[in-house]
């Protein structure tokens, strides 16, 4: 189990090499593929995918690398106490790895990695889990290989571990790469989007405590001009309608406190705006009527038992028609209920677009 990226691929390759020492060379299958993770089609069931692979394949040995392992697979592993490896990496590094080797957009990759994080998290505490961190494996790859072998009942001596590490390195399969996010042609706002969506998960994989999740405007869409994100103030004159939606990213189960930061011009005073959260149905809804021009924090609270099938959607809707006016979208801040709320300063009429500087 692991995030899409180099470290999980390295763990797949290590397990395959350890298993091949017993005779038959196993097939490696990664599910979902990167194309599936960045696509819009439902992913299906991990167990069904494994069953189809075993039925269709000629090999009796399979190394299965799950990048978005679901609840059904987790339930089976927990009940049987099956041993497996959890490859833990900084999700920001995983985004960098994928951006370096593909031509995918930063928002698609950020969304794919962010969607994997809540699914990998619950596996860390299962009885059969061996949690390995990419930094430790990069520093001592032979020790990581030996730990994997011992945990899975395929022990390897120090010489064998060194040979596996050397062979994989020669093939360009390393536990971590030298790719640096700073070297990528990303804007400041795009880097902020990656950090906001993934730093909280990086904290969890490092110390077991989930930090805040921040979805910046780069991950959202203006409904009347898709796929443009709301990078500037948008004109909202017209009938009632949805203005902004997104980002279709999963969250871990639990109770969440959500702040949607918005800016409104003077013309919008007294006009109702609706902000809601959707999962597999509506999770929360609130209404805001600006009493002045400026920046406002809209608060939502909800609980989820499992990540929604298509990820979480936050929408901003115009409640009734308006002759003129502008709205600026700041960001969405999501915190587990135990975390402290962020205060929002009042802003004057001339500063409503300051929300775009968040």
Tell me how far apart the alpha carbons of residues 337 and 105 are, in angstroms, rounded to a whole number: 32
N- to C-terminal Cα separation, the chain: 35
Q: Is the pLDDT of residue 339 over 60?
A: no
Do the Cβ atoms of 244 and 329 come closer than 8 Å?
Answer: yes
pLDDT digits (tens, 9 = 90+) for 256-306: 999 999 999 999 999 999 999 999 899 999 999 999 999 999 999 999 987
Query: Residue 342: pLDDT band by 50, 70, 90 thresholds?
Result: very low
Exposed, middle or buried: residue 192 (CB in 10 Å: 0-12, 13-18, 19+)?
middle
In this prediction, residue 352 carries a pLDDT of 81
Q: 246 has which bridge partners?
A: 314
Architecture of domain 212-357: Sandwich (2.60)
Contact in structure between 353 and 279 (CB atoms under 8 Å) = no
Tokens of 328: 């600026």
Position 177 scores a pLDDT of 67
Query: What is the rounded CA–CA span in Å between residue 95 and residue 111?
Result: 9
The answer, yes or no, to whether residue 355 has pLDDT greater than 90, is: no
Query: Which H/E stretch holds residue 87?
Result: strand 84-88
Question: Other CB atoms closer than 10 Å to residue 285's CB: what's the count?
Answer: 14
Instruction: Say if residue 207's pLDDT is above 50.
Output: yes
Number of Cβ within a 10 Å radius of residue 318 = 21
For the chain, the average pLDDT equals: 91
Interatomic CA distance for residues 128 and 131, integer angstroms: 10
pLDDT of residue 341: 40
Helix, strand or coil for residue 327? strand
- pLDDT value, residue 182: 64
User: Residue 343: its pLDDT value, please?
Assistant: 43
Query: Which tokens go with 263?
Result: 């800016």
**pLDDT of 130 higher than 90:** yes
Q: Cis peptide before 227, with omega less than 30 degrees from 0?
A: yes
Q: Please report, for the chain, the start and end positions of each structural domain, with discontinuous segments joined by +.
A: 6-182, 212-357
From the list 59, 8, 60, 61, the residue with the least C-alpha distance to 33 is 8
Q: Which residue has the higher pLDDT, 354 or 267?
A: 267
The matching CATH number, chosen from 3.90.226.10, 1.50.10.100, 3.40.50.410, 3.40.50.300, for 6-182 is: 3.40.50.300
Residue 41 vs residue 103, higher pLDDT: 103
Strands 281-288 and 241-249: unpaired
The pLDDT, as a whole number, for residue 7 is 94
């Amino acid at each position: 189990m692991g995030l899409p990226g180099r470290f999980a691929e390295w763990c797949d390759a290590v397990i395959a090499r350890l298993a091949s020492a017993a005779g038959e060379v196993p097939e490696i299958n990664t599910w979902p593929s990167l194309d599936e993770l960045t696509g819009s089609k439902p992913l299906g069931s991990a167990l069904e995918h494994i069953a189809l692979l075993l039925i269709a394949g000629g090999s009796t040995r399979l190394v299965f690398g799950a990048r978005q392992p679901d609840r059904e697979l987790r339930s089976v592993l927990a009940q049987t106490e099956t041993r497996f490896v959890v490859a833990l990496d900084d999700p920001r590094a995983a985004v960098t790895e994928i951006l370096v080797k593909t031509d995918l957009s930063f928002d698609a990759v950020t969304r794919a990695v962010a969607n994997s994080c809540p699914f990998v998290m619950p596996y860390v505490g299962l009885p059969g889990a061996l949690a390995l961190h990419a930094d430790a494996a990069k520093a001592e790859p032979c020790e990581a290989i030996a730990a994997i072998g011992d945990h899975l009942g395929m022990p390897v001596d120090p010489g064998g571990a060194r040979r596996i590490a050397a062979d994989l390195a020669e093939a360009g399969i390393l536990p971590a790469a030298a790719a640096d996010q700073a070297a990528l042609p990303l804007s400041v706002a795009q880097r902020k989007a990656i950090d906001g969506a993934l730093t909280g998960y990086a904290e969890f994989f490092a110390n077991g405590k989930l930090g805040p999740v921040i979805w910046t405007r780069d991950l959202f869409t203006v409904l009347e001009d898709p796929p443009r994100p709301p990078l500037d103030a948008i004109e909202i004159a017209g009938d009632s309608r949805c203005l902004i939606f997104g980002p279709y990213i999963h969250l871990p189960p639990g109770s969440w406190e959500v702040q949607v930061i918005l800016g409104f011009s003077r013309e919008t005073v007294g006009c109702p705006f609706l902000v809601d959260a959707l999962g597999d149905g509506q999770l929360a809804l609130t209404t805001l009527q600006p009493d002045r021009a400026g920046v406002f924090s809209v608060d939502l609270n909800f609980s989820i038992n499992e990540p929604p099938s298509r990820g979480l959607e936050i929408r901003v809707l115009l409640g009734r028609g308006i002759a003129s006016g502008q709205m600026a979208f700041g960001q969405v801040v999501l915190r587990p209920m135990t975390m402290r709320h962020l205060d929002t300063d009042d802003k004057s009429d001339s500063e409503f677009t300051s929300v775009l500087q968040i």
